[in-house]
């Protein structure tokens, strides 16, 4: 099965914007999936390098590799780390967080935590060890550390809660933590001990500026550059001769409409710099973009010379002749572990799922609806247009079970098979919009198409005796940071029962 959509002006499979997921709920067979390839194959690339929700980026270079840490909110395993040799071709290499702790709602007990969890991480490297700082919403800051980004990761918990923490390690190895939320109108900083396990000394305010957060601190050419987001408005930069400031000068590098906000710069092996930041892109989420940096009067202006202040769609790649890679997305479920592309919607109940060697088996969890259903397995929606398909064996379902494939976000919806009566339903915001009765087959196929160009999601079904049939009308996809998931729309494999079941 191959399903291809090509972006306007593209030619050949290398530019095809296509994602085909063949997954298994109880039973799976062959799997094929392709995320959009940003590398144009001619020495150029098309922004964004990752056409999916990779928000609040923090990027460093260690040797020949770039490492990217981004927000994953309440998804588990959390705090995804990606790696690239050229800032264009990325692969997922690991997650820092196995389990979210500190609140029973992470287990969907007594409520849910969508929109919470971990966001705005900061990655750093010192003496053979990677460090990632993150502050789970409303909790104390954690410093995760590992010799290998693939893990295993351990962590320290600091004594305070530092919003949008930024790790900075001085040339002499001294570590610092900067932080600040937009409501505070300032950025503060404190020194850490040599193991990064605790703070030492007193905190100081290093920048006073309205609505700044998402700090990134870089030392370049002997100067200290403090990058901050003014959320949904612009990316600003302040500079100082001393790490503690004063950061009295501030300039705007990009506006949200011309490039984005929340980002910084990273050095290349040749001594040049490139910028990175995220852009608010509607239903697909907040995507990370990159651009060359042009130094003007000692300021790292985002964009090429003559076009500073904007992040363009196509650039020459920062580093040439590296292998073309895209993040994994398919999964045959024939391994002993899930692929790194998968995350549960909250901490999973590990007694309710298993890998059989050729399939993923999901036992029904007890939940009143999709939004509250634990053990929903998710994957980022890919743009501009993507399609996810699952094949399921529903022969072991019990009365009340609801299992299928959905979109998780705000709004949300799914296509699923139910038992007693055995029928197929399509829902939006928990309301049944369409049904198919008199279903007899135990082998069913569900498909969801996400079109981020027109913001429409469509739902399809079939069995082995028929071709694909659309069910219901399309859903207009959106993005809601306040009441939704704070993420772009995600594919979601679900199996729940409002009344309890072992199906």
pLDDT in tens, 467-489: 999 999 999 999 998 889 999 99
* First-to-last C-alpha distance (Å) of the chain: 29
Name, in order, each residue with C-beta under 8 angstroms of 269's C-beta and a sequence gap of 6 or more. 61, 64, 319
Please report which confidence band the pLDDT of residue 15 belongs to, taking 50, 70 and 90 as the band edges: very low
- Cα distance between residue 461 and residue 274, in whole Å: 45
Which pLDDT does position 277 carry in this prediction? 98
More confident residue, 265 or 17: 265
* Mean of the per-residue pLDDT values of the chain: 92
| Beta pairing partners, 458 | 449
Beta carbons of 453 and 6 less than 8 angstroms apart: no
pLDDT single digits (tens) 162-190: 999 999 999 999 999 999 999 999 999 99
Beta carbons of 178 and 168 less than 8 angstroms apart: yes
The strand ranges marked E within 164-233 are 166-169, 175-179, 186-192, 199-208, 213-220, 223-230
Structural Rg of the chain based on CA atoms: 23
Name, in order, each residue with C-beta under 8 angstroms of 154's C-beta and a sequence gap of 6 or more. 144, 145, 146
Which pLDDT does position 34 carry in this prediction? 56
- Cα distance between residue 475 and residue 402, in whole Å: 20
Lowest mean pLDDT among 9-13, 174-178, 266-270: 9-13
Quick one: which of 356, 362, 367, 368 has its CA closest to 344?
A: 362
pTM: 0.93
Beta carbons of 182 and 211 less than 8 angstroms apart: yes
- Cα distance between residue 363 and residue 350, in whole Å: 10
Which pLDDT does position 127 carry in this prediction? 96
pLDDT single digits (tens) 16-74: 333 333 333 443 333 344 588 999 999 999 999 999 999 999 999 999 999 999 999 99
pLDDT single digits (tens) 408-438: 998 999 999 999 899 999 999 999 999 999 9
DSSP state of 39: B
Beta carbons of 228 and 234 less than 8 angstroms apart: no
């Amino acid at each position: 099965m191959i399903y291809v959509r090509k972006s306007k002006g593209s030619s050949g499979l290398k530019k095809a914007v296509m994602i085909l997921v063949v997954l298994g709920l109880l039973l799976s067979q062959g799997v094929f999936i392709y995320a959009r390839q940003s590398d144009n194959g001619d020495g150029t690339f098309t922004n964004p390098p990752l056409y999916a929700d990779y928000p609040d980026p923090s990027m460093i270079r260690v040797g020949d590799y770039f490492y990217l840490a981004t927000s994953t909110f309440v998804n588990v395993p959390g705090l995804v780390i990606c790696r690239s040799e050229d800032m264009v071709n990325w692969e997922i290499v690991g997650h820092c967080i196995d389990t979210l702790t500190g609140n029973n709602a992470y287990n969907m007990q007594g409520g849910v935590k969508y929109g919470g969890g971990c966001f705005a991480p900061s990655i750093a490297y010192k003496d053979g060890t990677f460090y990632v700082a993150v502050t789970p919403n409303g909790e104390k800051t954690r410093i995760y550390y590992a010799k290998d980004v693939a893990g295993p990761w351990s962590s320290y918990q600091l004594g305070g809660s530092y919003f949008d923490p930024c790790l900075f390690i001085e040339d002499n190895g001294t570590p610092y933590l900067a932080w600040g939320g937009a409501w505070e109108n300032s950025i503060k900083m404190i020194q850490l001990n040599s193991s990064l396990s605790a703070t030492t000394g007193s905190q100081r305010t290093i920048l006073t500026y309205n609505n700044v957060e998402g700090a990134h601190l870089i030392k370049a050419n002997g100067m200290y550059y403090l990058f901050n987001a003014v959320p949904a408005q612009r990316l600003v930069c302040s500079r100082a001769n001393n790490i503690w400031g004063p950061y009295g000068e501030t300039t705007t590098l990009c506006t949200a409409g011309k490039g984005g906000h929340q980002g910084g710069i990273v050095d290349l092996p040749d001594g040049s710099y490139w910028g990175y930041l995220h852009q608010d892109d509607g239903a697909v989420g907040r995507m990370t973009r990159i651009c060359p940096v042009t130094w003007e009067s000692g300021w790292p202006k985002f964009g090429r010379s003559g076009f500073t202040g904007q992040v363009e769609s196509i650039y020459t790649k920062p580093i040439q002749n590296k292998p073309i890679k895209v993040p994994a997305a398919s999964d045959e479920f024939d391994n002993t572990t899930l692929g790194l592309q998968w995350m549960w919607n909250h901490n999973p109940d590990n007694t309710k799922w298993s890998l059989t060697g050729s399939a993923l088996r999901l036992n029904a969890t007890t939940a009143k609806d999709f939004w509250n259903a634990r053990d929903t397995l998710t994957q980022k929606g890919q743009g501009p247009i993507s399609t996810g398909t699952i094949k399921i064996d529903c022969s072991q379902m019990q009365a009340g079970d609801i299992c299928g494939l959905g979109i998780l976000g705000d709004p949300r919806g799914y296509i699923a098979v139910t038992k007693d009566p055995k029928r197929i339903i399509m829902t939006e915001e928990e309301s049944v919009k369409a049904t198919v009765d008199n279903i007899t087959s135990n082998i069913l196929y569900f498909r969801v198409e996400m079109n981020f160009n027109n913001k429409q999601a469509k739902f399809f079904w079939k069995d082995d005796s028929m071709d694909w049939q659309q069910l219901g009308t399309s859903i207009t996809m959106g993005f809601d940071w306040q009441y939704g998931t704070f993420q772009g729309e995600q594919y979601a494999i679900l199996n729940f029962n409002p009344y309890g079941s072992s199906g």
